[in-house]
């Protein structure tokens, strides 16, 4: 994405709040991107360890930066022409290559992952340059990130991890080094809808983890109860974000001037959504493991992934609320702490017990918010 001297994107014609919404080609694009995210769930479920978590965080960091760049791109460059749609399809192909290479990104698949990322970066820069050539001052930073990933694929051991971490940090540090100057106005409705749809699709894909986890079990009372509990957790995570906060967020952003809106979108929809999205990935990995043997005690890794994933999601959501000033984050922070306290429930009793505890924690938090504010919660 193009960066301003204050860390926001560079200037182009300020769009009016004209009702411009997410197009079907953007939704199509997001479906491919979410496939890449769900591959991260598989990576974490396969290796529920600090090393597995480090790999997922590194992969997600690189992915999230460029996805946010595409969200800002289509907020400015509406994909309404044949050429723009075709270029987005090429970008989707790049994400698909990255998704397919994700399971082996640290073990022989890094070059393919990096080449897919290179395609995504070039398409992003080419589309952005149609309306604002200042993107060409930022494009080299994204190309460096792609080169670092390709370089990581050519190495092994600690250098691989060092190059991946550098690929995450270089673009994020760019706003503090590169000063193209200028700003542009972002459409509040489009940003809110685009990111909301992404969260929704990712939550929906997390339900797939239920089916995968239960695929080798007979469909009896126990597995049915486990499946319903998994769905209940996904619904409990959906509720705090979508009950009314998405509408409040759009209203809050619309009332801001251009400079404040750009900063708020960066903080709320880039930074605060990092723990939120990673939380979904971790929780889905935990659910997948819990479904395999729902009435048995979980190993430490799955129990931690489940509880810590929900906690990270709630902390990201609390930060999102605080940044946009759309509600008190205190109760959700408290619920996040209690979610961590639920980890021993899964480790000592059963996966089903931890799922029940997590659902009850979120429901209790929402009911407490409703009583304290008088709102729908």
A 10 A CB-CB count for 208 gives 13
The domain of 197 spans 188-373
Question: What local confidence, expressed as pLDDT, does residue 375 receive?
Answer: 53
Distance separating alpha carbons of residues 210 and 287, to the nearest angstrom: 7
- Residue 2 belongs to a domain: no
Per the CB < 8 A criterion, the answer to whether 307 and 233 are in contact is: no
User: Where does residue 76 rank: exposed (0-12), middle (13-18), buried (19+ CB within 10 A)?
Assistant: buried
CB 261 within 8 A of CB 186: yes
Q: Are residues 203 and 318 in the same domain?
A: yes
Write down the H helix ranges in the chain.
Answer: 24-46, 50-76, 82-101, 110-128, 139-153, 158-173, 188-214, 221-242, 245-255, 258-265, 273-292, 300-324, 330-341, 343-348, 351-373
Using CA atoms, how far apart are residues 29 and 183, in angstroms rounded to an integer? 26
Structural tokens at position 347: 């480790």
Same domain flag for 34 and 154? yes
Three-state DSSP state, 21: coil
Tokens 């489940």: give the residue: 306
Split the chain (377 residues) into runs of 10 and give each run's mean pLDDT.
Answer: 38 47 92 92 90 94 93 89 93 96 92 96 89 74 93 92 94 71 73 94 86 78 88 94 91 90 93 96 92 89 96 97 94 97 95 96 94 65
Domain final residue, candidates 150, 176, 202: 176
Q: Residue 178's pLDDT is what?
A: 63
Q: Tell me, yes or no, whether 196 and 168 share the same domain.
A: no
Last residue of some domain: 176, 200, 217?
Answer: 176
Domain shared by 274 and 225, yes or no: yes
Residue 293 DSSP code: S
The pLDDT of residue 10 = 39
Query: Does residue 35 share a domain with residue 119?
Result: yes
Q: How many domains does the chain have?
A: 2
Joined tokens for residue 62: 């690189």
Does residue 80 sit within a domain? yes
CA distance 125 to 135: 6
Query: pTM for this one?
Result: 0.89
Tell me, yes or no, whether 168 and 212 share the same domain. no
Q: What gap in Å lies between CA 8 and CA 6, rounded to an integer?
A: 6
| Residues 198, 85 share a domain | no
Query: 83 and 208 share a domain?
Result: no
Examine the domain organization and report whether 98 and 207 are in the same domain. Answer: no
Q: Identify whether residues 113 and 150 lie together within a single domain.
A: yes
Establish if 314 belongs to a structural domain: yes
Task: Please state, in angstroms and rounded to a whole number, the distance separating the CA atoms of residues 156 and 361.
Answer: 43
Same domain? 62 vs 131: yes
For tokens 């997600």, the residue is 60
Q: Are residues 147 and 217 in the same domain?
A: no
**Per the domain annotation, does 6 fall within a domain?**
no
Domain end, chosen from 176, 209, 235, is at: 176
């Amino acid at each position: 994405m193009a960066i301003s001297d204050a860390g926001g994107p560079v200037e182009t014609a300020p769009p009016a709040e004209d009702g411009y919404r997410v197009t079907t080609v953007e939704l199509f694009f997001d479906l491919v991107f979410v496939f890449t995210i769900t591959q991260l769930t598989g990576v974490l479920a396969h290796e529920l360890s600090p090393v597995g978590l480090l790999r997922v965080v590194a992969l997600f960091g690189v992915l999230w930066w460029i996805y946010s760049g595409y969200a800002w791109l289509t907020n400015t460059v509406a994909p309404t022409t044949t050429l723009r749609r075709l270029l987005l399809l090429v970008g989707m192909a790049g994400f698909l290559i990255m998704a397919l290479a994700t399971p082996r990104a640290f073990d022989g698949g890094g070059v393919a992952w990096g080449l897919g990322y290179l395609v995504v970066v070039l398409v992003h820069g080419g589309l952005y340059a149609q309306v604002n050539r200042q993107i060409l001052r930022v494009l080299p930073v994204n190309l460096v990130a792609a080169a670092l990933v390709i370089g990581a694929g050519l190495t092994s051991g600690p250098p691989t991890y060092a190059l991946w971490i550098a690929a995450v940090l270089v673009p994020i540090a760019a706003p503090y080094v590169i000063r193209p100057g200028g700003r542009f106005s972002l459409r509040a409705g489009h940003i809110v809808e685009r990111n909301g749809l992404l969260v929704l699709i990712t939550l929906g894909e997390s339900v797939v983890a239920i089916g995968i986890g239960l695929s080798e079990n007979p469909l009896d009372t126990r597995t049915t109860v486990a499946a319903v509990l998994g769905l209940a957790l996904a619904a409990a995570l959906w509720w705090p974000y979508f009950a009314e906060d998405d509408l409040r967020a759009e209203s809050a952003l619309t009332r801001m001037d251009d400079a404040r809106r750009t900063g708020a979108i960066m903080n709320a929809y880039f930074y605060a959504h990092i723990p939120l999205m990673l939380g979904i990935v971790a929780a889905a990995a935990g659910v997948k493991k819990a479904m395999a043997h729902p009435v048995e005690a979980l190993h430490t890794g799955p129990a931690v992934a489940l509880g810590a994933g929900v906690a990270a999601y709630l902390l990201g959501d609390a930060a999102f609320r605080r940044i946009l000033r759309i509600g008190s984050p205190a109760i959700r922070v408290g619920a996040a702490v209690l979610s961590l306290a639920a980890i021993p429930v899964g480790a000592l009793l059963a996966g089903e017990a931890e799922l029940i505890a997590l659902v009850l924690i979120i429901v209790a938090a929402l009911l407490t918010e409703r009583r304290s504010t008088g709102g729908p919660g």
